[in-house]
Amino acid sequence: MTNRVILAYSGGLDTTVAIPYLKDMTDGEVVAVSIDVGQGGEDMESVRQRALDAGAVEAVVVDAKDEFAEEYCLPTIKANGLYMKQYPLVSALSRPLIVKHMTEAAKEFGGTHVAHGCTGKGNDQVRFEVGFANTAPDLKIIAPARDFAWTRDKAIAFAEEKGLPIEQSKSSPFSIDQNLFGRAIETGYLEDLWNAPTKDVYSYTEDPTLNFNSPDEVIISFEDGKPTAIDGKPVSVLEAIEEMNRRAGAQGIGRLDMVEDRLVGIKSREIYEAPGAIAIMIAHAALEDVTVERELARYKRQVEGKWAELVYDGLWFSPLKRALDTFIEESQKGVSGDIRMVMHAGNCNVNGRRSNTSLYDFNLATYDEGDTFDQTLARGFVELHGLSSKMAAKRDFNL
């Protein structure tokens, strides 16, 4: 039986070099699988052709933008999924989707191995390999960049020796991963924590300090936690993210500069741009404040952090992640209504909320005429609420 390696193919240096390398290593054939998750910047047909030119026997391009939006970005919006309370899981979200389509390709093309271009210092090796272990454990895994010490210089030299169709050079300063939900930038001079990002780092967002744009007021509508309309116009999740990428990005919203705790144990300086993700999550969280009961909201905030950690750590397919998905989905019943926000100069401020499922009662909340809150009940409530701590204080401090 001929070995067949199913390669997660991005079209970049490492995965292009991997095609002839894997052929030689396994004495087999390589099938390149490229997933369009809205990364933009290059025609996917040219990516497919590059894989064939590099020696792949088959090259598959999957348009997964709608799937990515509905099945990966939307759960993140509902979970308010921010790793370390900042990062909206841009790269982490696409990896389980890639795993899914690679395992499908392995079945279709008779794959015996799967391969990726990740190094041993990053998180993606974990996301891919744990994903394969959870979905197709019989497939053998090859990671050339990690397991065979492929440095960037070696990869470029190998590509030149083989005459491979690459555009990268030794002078390329950054490592960039981008998709519909955002953009991740690292390495180069950014590895010195004191160096500020320069304007060439950014692509999805305008400089918020320039202040040349007028404020943009937007209304985002949700049904059970799902964005369904922008300014009254019905949209799919994909369209909602694309529209808010454009509008929030024009206002410089969604730039992040953080030192991140990687799963492998090192700290890494990362620059992110996620204008649509951040703007939509701000609106979603504001609507939850109006529509989600207090104890459920408090517990969900604890779940959100754990959910984000599981996704970041490559445990998308894990039992705990699946269980938390069920909890989060239940919590979204009734998270319906409209949020109005003003976006300007890097800021996204909510200034209006309305919902038919609101738990806000004007007559209970008002301090003016029409107040229906019975304040005579408060005295006893306060005494009972503090009773246990009062008794402990008497004992501990001899009061």
Task: Single out the catalytic residue among 34, 124, 331, 355.
Answer: 124
Q: Are residues 79 and 210 in the same domain?
A: no
pLDDT at 141: 96
pLDDT at 144: 87
Question: Is residue 359 situated within a structural domain?
Answer: no
Q: In the predicted model, what is the mean pLDDT of the chain?
A: 93
pLDDT of 265 above 70: yes
Tens digits of residue pLDDT in 330-378: 999 999 999 999 999 999 999 999 999 999 999 999 898 888 998 999 9
How long a stretch of residues is the chain? 399
Helix or strand or coil: residue 36? strand
Q: Are residues 163 and 303 in the same domain?
A: no
Query: What number is the average pLDDT over the span 207-233?
Result: 94
Task: Single out the catalytic residue among 95, 183, 247, 255.
Answer: 95
Q: Are residues 204 and 141 in the same domain?
A: no
Q: Are residues 189 and 331 in the same domain?
A: yes
Q: Are residues 268 and 180 in the same domain?
A: yes
Question: Is residue 362 situated within a structural domain?
Answer: no
Give the pLDDT band of residue 147 (cuts 50, 70, 90): confident
- 355 is annotated as contributing to ligand binding: no
Task: Single out the catalytic residue among 66, 172, 175, 353.
Answer: 175
Q: Are residues 292 and 344 in the same domain?
A: yes
Tens digits of residue pLDDT in 236-259: 999 999 999 999 999 999 999 999
- 190 is annotated as contributing to ligand binding: no
Q: Are residues 140 and 261 in the same domain?
A: no
Domain ends where: 172, 188, 216? 172
Give the pLDDT band of residue 314 (cuts 50, 70, 90): very high
Domain ends where: 139, 172, 205? 172
Nearest to 335 by CA among 314, 316, 357: 357
- 14 is annotated as contributing to ligand binding: yes
Task: Using the Cα atoms of residue 160, residue 166, residue 169 and residue 175 in order, give the sign of their dihedral.
Answer: negative
Tens digits of residue pLDDT in 74-126: 999 999 999 999 999 999 999 999 999 999 999 999 999 999 988 888 899 99
Instruction: Give the structural domain span for 264.
Output: 176-354
Q: Are residues 250 and 350 in the same domain?
A: yes
Is 396 a catalytic site residue?
no
Question: Is residue 41 situated within a structural domain?
Answer: yes
Task: Single out the catalytic residue among 14, 34, 48, 221.
Answer: 14
CATH of residue 302's domain is 3.90.1260.10
Choose from 38-42, 71-75, 371-375 the range with maximum mean pLDDT.
Answer: 71-75
pLDDT of 169 above 70: no
- 13 is annotated as contributing to ligand binding: yes
Q: Which residue has tokens 């943009």?
A: 216
Domain ends where: 334, 354, 374? 354
Q: Are residues 110 and 235 in the same domain?
A: no
- 119 is annotated as contributing to ligand binding: yes
pLDDT at 213: 78
Tally of domains within the chain = 2
Q: Are residues 219 and 294 in the same domain?
A: yes
- 21 is annotated as contributing to ligand binding: no
- 231 is annotated as contributing to ligand binding: no
Q: What percent of the chain has pLDDT over 90?
A: 79
What region, left, alpha or beta, does residue 55 occupy, with left being phi > 0 and alpha being psi -120 to 50 degrees? Answer: left
Tens digits of residue pLDDT in 377-386: 999 999 999 9
Is 175 a catalytic site residue?
yes
Q: Are residues 184 and 148 in the same domain?
A: no
pLDDT of 42 above 80: no
- 202 is annotated as contributing to ligand binding: no
pLDDT at 172: 54
Question: End-to-end alpha-carbon separation of the chain, Å?
Answer: 82
pLDDT at 165: 66
Q: Are residues 96 and 167 in the same domain?
A: yes
CATH of residue 28's domain is 3.40.50.620
Query: How many C-beta neighbours within 10 Å does residue 372 have?
Result: 10
